[in-house]
Amino acid sequence: MGHWTPRRRGTVAVAAALLSATLVGTGLHPAAADETDYELGYQLGLQAYRYGLPLVTTDKTFENQTSIDVSNDRGFGPVNQFNPVRAFIDPADRSVVAPNLDTLYSIAWLDLSDEPQVIHVPKIKDRYFVVPLMSPYTENFANLGSVDETPAGDYAIVGPDDSDVVLPKHVTRVESPYDRVFIIERVYADNDSAKDITAVNRLQDKISVIPLSQYPKKNWRAPVPASPDTTIDDPGLPTGMAFYDKLGDLLAEFPPPAADQPMLDELAAIGVGPGLQPSTDASLSADTVAGMTAAIAAGQATVLGDAQAIYGQNFARHNGYLVTPTGTYGTDYRLRAVVTQVGLGALRPEQSIYPLALLDRTGKPLTGAKKYVVHIPAGGLPPVTDDGFWSMTLYDNDGFIVANEIDRYAINDRTDLHYNADGSLDLYIQAERPADPAHAQNWLPTPAGGFRLLWRTYSTERTEIPGILDGTGWLAPAVMPVG
């Protein structure tokens, strides 16, 4: 979905992903009499992979981003501290998949196990911002920001063991279901204005966090280590049976909601669950273990296959785009895994919606070998609020922006565009600069190979959200091949 996502190396062929999706779509259950141990391990192993991917991925990201103890201005740094990203990513930086060119980030990981943490929200006028609070299961359980009309002030994020804590006067309580909270703060910034970026950097410094025990000390700062650790560790996702062991540890640390019990009952058949370590479970046969190991190896392709299946099922309804609700998932573990893999930290629809095109409207992969036009009729731009905005960003098939001769990687509501006489708009998506100057003004350059287009609509009009999500309202304009 175009968010702060740990880099994934390489891509998986669509054909392989679709094959995996077919293999996992059989709905096999442990009670079936004709199941082999291998099939049991493989099918339930895939279910465990989908179910556990958010927990394991957020833990990996936590270990990665908090592995240094001083902020590096790229979002990495200690827990219980906002670690800002000071500038927009350029094509040379391939550390973040689908980077956002609309807002600057600050990353924070809160540890509430010792005490609540108090977030200070300064007065921010006429500018989109959000401080989204995410659980280890990637549920966006609360937001502080412009969409929610959050007043300037102090907000205590309170963990499950501190529900009876007494807060100082004028501090607002925000209950967290877990002691770990993942925050990807976003503040709108004009990527073409150095002055505006500097203004946002100042706002990033004003959005702060302080332990409750230190509140309300002014200008409090966490102690700075005498010998800072600036070496970033990247633990990677565990493979094989280690994935299930890690999942067991995390399920014990972050107890799953009651609604997950039916899934946990199924996974118990292969020794997966809170506190369980399948790698040392002597009751599992060698064939079951082999199936479980194979499931983890197939996991990434399977989830990509799920994404392709969701895309295909709704392709026509959404005018050739993948459009899904994000931020809250309940027991839709399939969708939750897809969003985790392609856009960790995606927001609720009232904050942002992310139509994604991997194919043109005729169903062919997008490629720099062709020319495309995106026609937007008069009045057909995304329905955002006065504080909202929209953009369309181009990425290569690995999810990175690509250098081009005009240094344009996105078209947005700040771009100086040429409108047609009837008020409509044509965007030209192609490798070569259009000969017509009016067309060149609306040109988004493509790389030589495959690419994808991602729309972002921030602070969408609430009455419009249901229609966008079900395909009955505003549709992202079709990507049409020409010539």
Kindly tell me if the per-residue pLDDT of 2 is higher than 70.
no
pLDDT tens track for 194-214:
999 999 999 999 999 999 999
The reply to whether omega before 262 is within 30° of 0 (cis) is no
Tell me the pLDDT band of 35, cut-offs 50, 70 and 90: low
Order of strands, edge to edge, in the sheet holding 425-430? 443-445, 425-430, 371-376, 479-482
Q: Crossing angle, helix 241-253 and helix 286-313, to 10 degrees?
A: 80
- What string of H, E and C letters represents the secondary structure of 237-286? CCCCHHHHHHHHHHHHHCCCCHHHHHHHHHHHHHCCCCCCCHHHCCCCCH
Whole-angstrom distance, CA of residue 483 vs CA of residue 80 = 54
Among all chains, which residue has been given the structure tokens 């930290």? 345
pLDDT mean over 312-333: 97
Kind and range of the H or E run holding 295: helix 286-313
**Residue 128 pLDDT grade (very low, low, confident, very high; cuts 50, 70, 90):** very high
What DSSP element (H or E) covers 19? helix 14-23
pLDDT surpasses 70 at 28: no
CATH architecture of the domain formed by 14-61+237-298: Orthogonal Bundle (1.10)
pLDDT of residue 483: 72
Best-predicted range by mean pLDDT among 18-27, 172-181, 215-224?
172-181
As a whole number of angstroms, the distance between CA 78 and CA 70 comes to 6
Q: What's the distance, CA 87 to chain centroid? A: 19
CA dihedral (468, 472, 477, 482) in degrees, to 10, reads 150
Tell me what the mean pLDDT of segment 12-19 comes to: 32
pLDDT at 81: 96
Q: Is the pLDDT of residue 317 over 60?
A: yes
Q: What is the mean pLDDT of residues 56-76?
A: 95
Q: Locate 459 and state its tokens.
A: 């602070």
- The pLDDT value given to residue 52: 98
pLDDT at 17 over 90: no
Q: Over 70: is that where the pLDDT of 173 sits? A: yes
Instruction: Let me know: does 110 contact 209? Beta carbons within 8 Å.
Output: yes
Contact 204, 163 (CB under 8 A): no
pLDDT in tens, 405-455: 999 999 999 999 999 999 999 999 999 999 999 999 999 999 999 999 999
The CATH number of 72-214 is 2.60.40.1610
Residues 6+ apart with CB under 8 A from 225: 69, 70
Instruction: Report the 10 Å Cβ neighbour count for 146.
Output: 22
Q: Binning pLDDT at 50, 70 and 90, where does residue 224 land?
A: confident
For residue 434, give the 3-state DSSP assignment.
Answer: coil
Indicate if the pLDDT at residue 8 is higher than 50. no
Distance CA 33, CA 448 (A): 52
Whether the predicted pLDDT of 342 surpasses 50: yes
Assess whether pLDDT exceeds 60 at residue 1.
no
Residue 248: pLDDT over 90: yes
Q: Does residue 13 surpass a pLDDT of 50?
A: no
Interval 260-307: pLDDT, tens: 999 999 999 999 999 999 999 999 999 999 999 999 999 999 999 999
Residue 222: its pLDDT value, please? 87
CA-derived radius of gyration, the chain = 23
Cβ-contact 220, 81 below 8 angstroms: no
Q: What DSSP string describes 68-110? A: SSS--SBS---SSS-EEB-S---TT--SBSS--SSEEEEEEEE
Question: Would you place residue 84 in the very low, low, confident or very high pLDDT band (cuts 50, 70, 90)?
Answer: very high
Mean pLDDT over residues 138-162, rounded? 97
Residue 220 to residues 192, 208, 210, 211, 345, Cα–Cα distance (Å): 33, 10, 7, 10, 28
Question: What percentage of the chain has pLDDT greater than the value 90?
Answer: 86
Residues 156 and 211: their CA atoms lie apart, in Å, by: 9
| Residue boundaries of the structural domains of the chain | 14-61+237-298, 72-214, 355-482
pLDDT for 98:
86
Q: Could you tell me the end-to-end alpha-carbon distance of the chain, in angstroms, rounded to an integer?
A: 30
pLDDT for res 14: 34
Residue 185 confidence (pLDDT) above 90: yes
Distance CA 315, CA 324 (A): 12
pLDDT value for 367: 97
CB within 8 A of 376, min separation 6: which ones? 424, 425, 426, 427, 477
- Res 174: pLDDT: 98
Which helix or strand (DSSP H or E) is residue 188 part of? strand 180-188
Q: Please check whether residue 186 is in contact with residue 143, taking contact to mean a CB–CB distance below 8 angstroms.
A: no
Q: How far apart are CA 236 and CA 64, in angstroms?
A: 9
Distance separating alpha carbons of residues 228 and 242, to the nearest angstrom:
31
Domain spanning 355-482 has what CATH number?
2.60.120.600
Cβ contact 103:189 at 8 Å? yes
Assign 60 a pLDDT band (cuts: 50, 70, 90): very high
Q: Higher pLDDT residue, 28 or 216? A: 216
